[in-house]
Structures are given as C-alpha cells and as structure tokens.
Structure 1
Amino acid sequence: MAALWFLPLVALFGLAIWRLLKVGSRPAGYPPGPPTVPILGNLHLMPKENGHIQFQKWAQEYGPIYSLILGTKVMIVVSSDQAVKDLFDKRSAIYSSRPETYIAQIVSGRHKVPPAGLRVLLMPYGERWRMAHRIYHNILNIRSAKSFVPYQDLENKQMLDGLLNQPEFFVDHIRRYSHSLTTQMTYGFRSNSMDNPKLKALFTNLHEFSKTMGTTAAALLDLYPPLRHLPDVMLPTRRYAKKLHTIECDLHKSNWMEVKAKLRNGTAKPSLCVSLAKAQDIEGFSDEQAGYIAGNLLEAGADTTSAQLVGFVQAMLLFPEVQKKAQAEIVRVCGDRMPTMDDEMDLQYIRACMKETHRWMPTAILGIAHSVIKDDEYMGYKIPKDSTVVLNVWAIHMDPKRHSNPSVFDPSRYADDYTSSMESAQSKDPSKRDQFLFGAGRRICQGMHIADRSMFLAMSRMLWAFDLRKARDCAGNEITPDPTALIPGMLVQPVPFRASITPRTPHHARVVREQWAGCRELLDEEHQWREVPRGMALDTYEPVGDPEKV
C-alpha cells in the first residue's frame, strides 16, 4: 500500500490537465459558433484584417447570435436588428458595460482614479460612467446642435474654398472641416489647418494608442490575466501605454484648463466646455475627468464625421446616377444659391444619401464592444456574465433580407424616412431603424444631432458646388476606387483614392469664393472668431436629470 502514495498526485495532475484542456471549449447551452480547439478556443480563427467579412460569414452560418471562445473569454456576436433591439435596447440595464481591456482601461485610463479609468468610451457601467453619460445627455441635446450652426456654416465654406483651390487634397480639406468643427464645439477655438500642433499631438497619440490596443501583447494580457504580474521590463507594451497615457492626459487637461481660464477672464467662446464647467460645479468631478469628458468628445467627433464624408465622396464616384439625382433635387429646391440648414426637410434625397452613407460605409464597422454584467438567456442560449457582446454592424447593414442589393449605394431605400438618426434609433420596430453606426442602448452616441447637421451641410453643398468624378491615369483611363479596401482599426475608412472635383459652373465657383471671403471678415489675424456669432448663446446647458430614468 505504501507504494501507492503517488496516486493522489497522479490524480491531481490528471485533473489539472483535464481542466487545462477544457479551457477554450464551448460549454453546453452557449450560442453556436465555429469549432474550438483546446486552450485557444477560436483564437486561431480570428482574422488579422477585414474582421467584418469573417464576422459576416459566421453570422450567415450560425445565425443572429453566435459565440466565439477566445481562450478564457467569451464573445457573443449579435447580427440581427431584432437581437440588437432585444438585448442592447430592451435589456440595456445589463448590456451597457464594457469588456475589460487591460491596456486601455487599467493602464492607459488610470490617473489617480479606480480601475474604471477616465476614458469614457471604454468605462465599465457604473456610477462614474452614469455621471459622464448624464453630462453628455445634458450638453449634446437638439438645442445644442442647432446653436452650433454658425460654426458649421463657416467651417463648411472654408472646406468648399479648399476643394475649389486644391481639389487633389480633398481628404485633407474634409478632415480639417471635421476637426475644426469639433474643436470649436468642444473648446471654442478653430483649427485653421491640419498643422495645428495640439491637434497633431493629440491624434498622433490617439493613433499610437489604437495601435497599442490592437497588439498581440495587449490581447494576451486580456485573455490570460496572470501575465499582468510580470514587471514592466518584460512588458514593453504596458510601459509604452503608460507613456501614451501621460501625454494624453496632459493634452486633455491643458485644453480644459484653457477654457476655464477664458471663462474667468470673459473671453470664452460658446462651446460644450462652457456647459461642462457648469456640470462640474453640480457634479463635483475632477479637472482630469473633465479633460477626458471633453477630450473624448473631440476624439469621437473628429475622425468619424470625416471618415463618413470620405466614404460619401467615394460613393459619388462609383454611383454617378445618384449624384445626378441629388444635384437635380438641389437645383429644384435651391436654384443658384447655396443650401442652408433651413433646406434640410426639403432636400429629402440628400438626407437619404446621408443615411445610406452610414449604412454603406459604416466607420464603426463592428461597433464598440459591450459587456453583460450578469448571466442572461436569449433564444434559448446562455449568455454568461462578463461576456463581450459585439454589435455586428456590417452583417446587419449588408443583410439582403433587410436591404436588397446591399452592396449598391441606393438612397431610395430611405425615400419615405424623415426621421433624424436619433429618432430612427428609438423606433419600436427595429426593421425600420435606418442604420446601426451610432451603436445601441445606453451606449448609443449622444452626438447624433450634431453629426446629422455636419453631414447634411457638407454633402448638400459639395454636390451643389462641384461635380465629383473618377480621376484618370496618364493614359486617360478612369481610376475606379475599391470600396472593400479599408484602413483597419477600431474605426475604419476607405484607403486613399483619387478623385476629380471640379466646380459645376463659373457661377458656383464665384459664389464659393464670395461666401468664404465674407466669412474671413468675421475672423481675426489668428483665424479665430473676432466675437461670438450673432444670436449664439454662450452655452445651452439644461440639466434634466438621469437619462436612464426619463
């Protein structure tokens, strides 16, 4: 009997091996998904690029809800409008958190605060996020959106002048338009060019952060938490993330503190930060948190609008019949004058072009992942607590049962849809929702009112002033851009392409120059507003309580 002393050790060893081999397997009752292998689960199947295509294929194979087992983590992918409504909207109380991303939340988002971090986009659901959400709800309302039209009008006219004089740099002009709008609405200062040092530093840092988040090392730290105990010398990714966070925090806080200083000396221009200062007095959050609440607005607004507009330009090159129909509507409604926001409801085809752009070229192509905070069940399947839950935007937008010929850019899909993006997102019938670019549930983008106006002005005036055609090579052959070629990342956009952009008539060119000349008179020698635009309130802050209870 004494010789059998080792049997318990063998049993323990065997149990450990069995448990290890169970890692990566799909438990009974979970939503279906691709076959798994021990330890890795489906990690070896995860695409390195064009992930939206593979996620769409899996949706076609496994249905409106499927699961991916990623090492020790579970990902639930939601791929139908009804499932989005049922889970993200109707069960928003438990589907509004974010999955733990160690590099983004714990390292890059930590600054004298608990692990929730400062980065609002990636905050888990809790009191800190509810406070930020309450602020966004109060300052990004329809009244606020209407108040910023003078900013949008001026920046749009500079963009048109840039397209007239340097059409080959159309992407730069669109990006400057989007960025300057966002700095004005957020902080009250214009970005006259893409060479603004603060903007360059911020977005360089943001792009580096996105790259760091997407590294294999960052993924391993999420999937295998014990690795986090290694020292920084063995984790260069974490060390670099800390450096990026320090730079980012300093930039966000300095922009915020400049607005507070201008408020004290009476030189502040209307901006969301003016409202944020009132909210700080009520809520009592730190200047670091205020910097991030404002900075995240800048990050979210600048790149998304510009990416969508670049996608729109590409659509006009590929579907010239749409452009002709849109221009005919503009001529019918506006004649020789430039469109304004007052024309919005009379230019329904332009509004439809905006909705179709969001559907056809969605920037957040797989959404921003949610997390469920307790065990749930849907369609007879178990959804475990702390699962990552993905809104499969591309699969929904390209579902032929929802949109016939989904790869075709066809604004007529929305001929009778007079809703705003926010109104459509709140539709009780999910099949009537126009698109899912802006997310769902309590995490839905609060800036949709502002984005709608920026997009409408840019699209209507570009088509009023210019003809957008395919560029030609040296031999005179048309160069056709590839709409499937995308710059990868959390937010995607078309790879660079060439376009021919010419004024429709000498009259249109003259009006563009005259309109921008008139706008320049409103600016000082530093290209900032001399004074607050006529009739524009300093802020529109109206605290209305908790949006989750109204």
Structure 2
Amino acid sequence: MAVILNILPVIVTVVLLAKLLTIGRRPKNLPPGPPTIPILGNLHLMPTRDAHLQFEKWAREYGPVYSLILGTKVMIVLSSDKAVKELLDKKSNMYSHRQEMYLGQTLCSGDLRILMMGYTPRWRMCRKMVHTLLNISAAKSYVPYQMLENKQMLFDILNTPERAMYHVRRYTNSLTTTMVFGWRSETYDDPKMMQLFDGFGEFAELNQTGAAGLMDFFPIIRYLPDFLLPARVKAKELHKKEKALYLGHWLKAKQDTLNGTITRCFSEDLVEAQKTEGFDDDQAAYISGTLLEAGSDTTSSTLYAFIQAMVLYPEVQKRAQEIIDRVIGDKRLPTMDDEQDLQYIRQIMKEALRWMPTTIMGAVPHAVTKDDYYDGYLIPANAGVVNNVWAIHMDPARHPEPRKFNPDRYENDFQSLGDAAANPDYTKRDQFTFGAGRRICPGIHVAERSLFLGISRILWAFDIKPYVDAQGNTILPDQEKLTQGFVCQPEEFKCTITPRSEARKQIVINEWQQAQDECIDPVTKQWKVNPLGPARSRKA
C-alpha cells in the first residue's frame, strides 16, 4: 500500500501531462490543415494583420474545407461556394449557432449583441423583429429616406470632395438612424455618429487581439486578475460607453413613440414587441443599436471601394457613364425606376461587393450544434465554422483574374442580391459578402437599393480621377491595402472628384435645395412631414 501511495502522484502527473499534450492536436478524422504544435495547435500561425490572405493561402494548400486547431477549440474553414451552400445554407438549423465569445459578447456586449448571440430562442425573437424592418417589402418603403440622404451626399461631395469617405458614411448612417430611430444625422461631425464609428472600430480591433483569442481558446485564463488582462478592462469600459450611446438612442425613440411624435421607423414596432415579449430596455437598445452599426458601416465601405475602383479602372467608369448618359441624359438624376435599364450599373455594384468584400471572412464564425460529416471528414459539435468570403471571391476557377475589377462577370446575372443568395445552384450565387444561412445579413434588400442609388448617381454627377500632387505626380491607391477588423474597406486614399459639367453641378445643387425646402425643417434639420405617414400614438 505504501508503494502505491508513493507512486500515485507520479501516475496522476503523467496522466495529466498526457492529457495536456493532447490539447492542440488535430484528430485524424477532421479536415486537413496546417501542422499543429502541442497546447497551441495552430494559434502560433494566426496572423496579426491581413488574416484573409493567410486563410486564402491555406485554402489553396489544404482544400475548400480545412481545419484549424486553436488551443482547446476547433475551427472549420469553408472556402468554396459548394461547401457554403451545402452546410451553412442547406443545414442552417445545425450551422447557425455561435461559439462562446467571452471578450466580444460577454464583456464588450453584455451578452446583448445579436451578431454574436447563440442560436437561441432569444436570438430567434430578435431576428424575427429585425426582419419586419428589413424585409423586401419594407425595404421598398424606405426609398424616400434613401433619396433624401443620397441628395445630401451628392451635394456634400460637390462642396468638399476630399471628404468623400465621410460623406458616404453620413449617407448610410443617416439612412439607418432614420429607419431605426426616426431621426436623421445632418453632419458627419455629429458627436454621436463619430462615437458610433470610433466605438465599433475599437470593438473590432479589440476582438482581433491575441488576448481576445487566448481568453476564448483557453478559458482558464479568465481567472487571472484584471491587472494581468488589460484587454478585459478595456472591453468593460467600451461596453459601458457603447451601452450608454445605444440606450440613449432607444429611450428617446421609445418616448417619441409613446408621444406619437416619432418619424415612422423600426422603434415604433420595437415598443410594441417589448410589451408582448417582455425584454428590457438594455436588450431593446442593443437590438436597435446593432442594427445601426451594421447599416452604417457595411454599405459605406462598399461605396468607398467603388470609388477606389473608379480611380483604378477608368475604362469601367467611362463605359458606365456612357450608358447612364444614353438612358438618363443630363437633365435629371437616376432613380430606382431606372434600375432595369441600367444593368451595367448593377454589374458594377455586384463586382464592388465581390472585389472588396466588407465582411472579408464572414464577420463572425458560425458554430455547429452537433457532429456532422462532409466529404468523409468530421465537423465536430461546437466547432466554429468560417465563411471564407475572400478565398471564394478570389478563386480563379470561379472568377478568372480575381483581383481585376471586371463588371462583365455579371453580364447575364439579373438576380437581386437576395435572389442570388437563395439560388439553389451555388455556382449562380453572385457574391458572399452578406453571409449565408439563417445568419445572412437581413439588410441585404436595403443595401442593394442604397448601393444602386449611390453608384448610379455618383457616376451621373461626377468624374473620379487619380490624385495629382503638387509636383505633378499621379498617386494611385493600393487596392491591396485594407483596414482591419470585422468590417473592412480600402485604407483611406486621395482622389480627385469633380462635377461632369456645370449643368449637372447645378442639378445636384437644385435637387438638394428642393429636398430641403420640401422635406426638412430648417431649425431641427429633421423631416417636416414623414413620407411613410404619421406616427401611431401609443399613449392610449
């Protein structure tokens, strides 16, 4: 007995060490992937910048479905249209969950952010409400909002073209605040708008750090004190500021709704849903707030990418302007009624989404709820599943010369973005920027109209050319330099934007002046009379 007691600690130590050394190994039945090392798995190989390039490289090396072992967790990476269709779309009941994201969801978001919420009854309730705001019939009703904000964007670009990126951001943000909360953003310099963009930038950056990954992949680290985990302290501070912003927006909209003074918007319906579903103001604030951040950032990023493409591919711009001139002429701006006659503009829109995808790696990974098999490989329960958008878009077999901006790829594609995403033939899907399955971006219909109006009207009104410095040197942007984070866009660049003619310049000025006279209160800068009809009073 004494001998047994003496060797027992040795046995326990050996067993624990053996168990520890299994962490980081790739089980034989998982999809292939890069070589692992004990404990870390593939964590040491994860890039700190431009992860999309490494994920694309691994796809070419290990195939359209490969695996990464990240500490204690498994990540499956889908890098083909076929795999995305067969798993995320066709098996969406299994592939719509999320892995636990301690820093992003628990600390930064108080477990309230829909984007990172697991596939739970609460998520399904939130998603159902969001669908009422953004379904295709609702999207059509918001066109008057889009038309107004678009006219201001054109006017702002005309006056300060060097701030085009900020004018595009104001356009998409103001549209979103109107749809969600019932008020518009008159200027990009509005402190609350700047806080939104800066805050989401901080959120994305923080969640890309090594500390975020370590706390997710090695949960034991969470027991360390705050002074050893500065990322955790920063996450809590960020949540406090973000929650205050979103709660302030929501409570104002809620009170305006109860008073019957709100401009028609999503918050009206959210007030009613709160009564029946019983969720608190914090959850309502994050339902509406995360809609605001999603609608403000992704569409503006695509429009900014489009402007860069016009700088780098002048032949595309010239052809588009010739078509617009033939269809529209020089006496009026394009409208949504012109969409069917401007197929080449739609091709440019789709190519911008493909060439510079904003959700470059599918934003946030899906997770599978139970064991599944694909091509003979195990996809284990609780594994994260990445929609590797960049690799799919840059697959030369799918898109020859993928880094060339070529709208002719979509010459015979007359599908809406939503119809293409739902097409049962995965080879007929146009692009994957909006995600897949039940996690597909619900704003796809609104975004399509905002992008068409933005692209067609910018091309109608302006010439976009490279920047020329004081020494006469032409400065071209680098199309490979992208911002980092969940949502990316080209790094800020200089270009020259000028009105195509004096007559078109005057039309831009007149259209905005008329819109202000007819629609906007001169003091509040908000809608005088809402085009969607009067608010519904809830006081009774």
1:44/1:187 Cα in 2 relative to 1: closer, same or farther (>3 Å)? same
Alignment pair present for 1:419 and 2:383: no
Distance 1:256 1:298, change over 3 A: same
2:346 matched residue in structure 1: 351
Is the partner of 1:493 in helix, strand or coil? Answer: coil
**Partner of residue 18, structure 1:** 18
2:97 paired residue number: 97
How much has 1:461 moved relative to structure 2? 0.3
Distance 1:193 1:40 in 2: 47
The question of whether the paired residues in 1 share the 8 Å contact of 2:42 and 2:69 is answered with yes
Match of 1:482 among 478, 482, 485: 478
The 3-state SS of whatever aligns with 1:436 is coil
2:101 partner letter: T
- Deviation, 1:528, is 2.5
Counterpart Cα distance in 2 of 1:218 and 1:51: 15
Moved more, 290-299 or 271-280: 271-280
How many residues align structurally?
533
Distance 1:413 1:36 in 2: 39
Aligned partners of 1:474 and 1:251: how far apart in 2? 42
| Aligned residue in 2 for 1:445 | 441
Preserved contact between residue 190 and residue 527 of structure 1 (Cα < 8 Å) = no
User: Which residue, out of 375, 396, 403, partners 1:400?
Assistant: 396
What is the Cα-based RMSD across aligned positions, in Å? 1.6
Cα distance between partner residues in 2 of 1:283 and 1:354: 38
Q: Does 1:491 find its partner at 2:515?
A: no
Partner of 1:72 in structure 2? 72
Query: 1:200, 1:316 → 2: CA distance?
Result: 27
Letter of the 1:529 partner, please give it. Q
For 1:486-528, what per-residue CA distance to the aligned partner results, in whole angstroms no more than 9, with x for missing partners?
1111111111111111111111111111111111212223453
1:203 matched to 2:203: no
1:525 and 2:519 correspond? no
Contact 1:326–1:349 (CA under 8 A) maintained in structure 2? yes
In structure 2, relative to structure 1, the CA distance for the partners of 1:270 and 1:2 (3 Å cut) is: closer
Q: 1:233 to 1:160 in 2, by over 3 A?
A: same
Contact 1:147 1:536 in 2 (8 A): no
The aligned amino acid for 1:532 is V
- Measure how far apart 1:163 and its partner are: 1.3
1:536–1:324 CA distance, 2 compared to 1 (3 A): farther
Distance in 2, matches of 1:38 and 1:169, equals: 50
Distance 2:196 2:435 in 1: 25
Q: Any idea what SS the aligned residue of 1:327 has?
A: helix
Task: Render the CA deviation track for 1:167-223: whole Å, top value 9, x for unaligned.
Answer: 111111111111111111111111111121222233333222222222222221111
Measured in 2, the distance between the counterparts of 1:222 and 1:530 equals: 45
Shift of 1:123: 0.1
2:246 paired residue among 230, 245, 252: 252
For the residue of structure 1 that corresponds to 2:474, the secondary structure is coil
CA distance in 2, matches of 1:537, 1:383: 52
Q: Is the 8 A contact 1:358 1:437 kept in 2?
A: yes
Partner of 1:265: 259
Distance in 1, Cα, partners of 2:466 & 2:107 = 45
User: Which residue of structure 1 aligns with residue 375 of structure 2?
Assistant: 379
Aligned-partner Cα distance in 2 for 1:487–1:352: 25
1:535 Cα deviation after fit: 5.4
Distance 2:181 2:499 in 1: 33
- Where does 1:313-352 land on structure 2 (aligned, <5 Å)? 313-336=307-330, 337-352=332-347
What are the within-5 Å matches in structure 2 for residues 209-248 of structure 1? Answer: 209-248=203-242
Deviations 1:2-54 (A, max 9, x none): 56753333232222222222211101100000111111111111111111111
1:391 matches 2:367: no
Distance 1:211 1:61 in 2: 28
User: SS at the partner of 2:242?
Assistant: helix
| 1: CA distance, partners of 2:527 / 2:479 | 42
Distance of 1:338 and 1:107 partners within structure 2: 47
CA distance in 2 between partners of 1:69 and 1:535 (Å)? 51
Secondary structure in 2 matching 1:191:
coil
Q: Give the distance between the partners of 1:203 and 1:174, measured in 2 at CA.
A: 13
Q: Give a deviation string over 1:347-391, Cα, whole Å, max 9, x none.
A: 111011101100000010000211111111111001111111100
Structure 2 Cα separation of the partners of residues 296 and 128 of structure 1: 15
* Distance verdict in 2 for CA 1:223–1:534, change over 3 Å: closer
Structure 2 counterpart of 1:187: 181
Q: Is the 8 A contact 1:120 1:132 kept in 2?
A: yes
Higher mean C-alpha displacement, 426-435 vs 3-12: 3-12
* Residue pair 1:147, 1:537 contacting (<8 A) in 2 also: no
Equivalent position SS for 1:77: strand
1:113 corresponding residue in structure 2: none
Residues 1:55 and 1:269: Cα distance change in structure 2 (over 3 Å): same
Deviation at 1:426, TM superposition (A): 0.3
Q: Is the 8 A contact 2:521 2:528 kept in 1?
A: no
Q: Is the 8 A contact 1:192 1:527 kept in 2?
A: no
- How has the CA–CA distance of structure 1 residues 457 and 19 changed in structure 2, closer, same or farther, with 3 Å as cutoff? same
Mapped pair 1:125 → 2:105? no
Contact 2:98–2:119 under 8 Å retained in 1: yes
8 Å CA contact 2:133–2:139 kept in 1: the answer is no
**Using the alignment, how far apart are the partners of 2:297 and 2:512 within structure 1?**
24
- Kindly indicate whether residue 287 of structure 2 is the aligned counterpart of residue 293 of structure 1: yes
The one-letter code matched in structure 1 to 2:415 is T
Range with greater deviation from structure 2 (330-339 or 75-84): 330-339
* Equivalent-residue separation in structure 2 for 1:261 and 1:2 (angstroms): 76
Q: What is the percent sequence identity of the aligned residues?
A: 52
Letter in 1 for 2:17: I
Distance 1:192 1:529 in 2: 8
- 2:468 corresponds in structure 1 to 472
Report the more deviating stretch, 236-245 or 170-179.
236-245
The one-letter code of the counterpart of 1:399 is: D
SS in 1 for 2:475: coil
In structure 1, give the amino acid aligned to 2:98.
R
Mapping 1:25-174, distance limit 5 Å: 25-110=25-110, 117-174=111-168
Q: Is the 8 A contact 1:270 1:532 kept in 2?
A: no
Separation in 2, partners of 1:201, 1:316: 30
TM-score, L = length of structure 1: 0.94
Q: Deviations over 1:289-322 (max 9, x none)?
A: 1111110100101011111111000111111111
Q: Distance in 1 between matches of 2:29 and 2:79?
A: 19
* Aligned counterparts of 1:450 and 1:109: Cα–Cα separation in 2: 26
Which piece of structure 1 moves more, 435-444 or 213-222? 213-222
Alignment partners' CA distance in 2, 1:170 and 1:442: 34
Gaps of at least 5 residues in structure 2 are none
Q: 1:403 to 1:514 in 2, by over 3 A?
A: same
Give 1:362's aligned residue. 357
Q: Which amino acid aligns with 2:352?
A: T
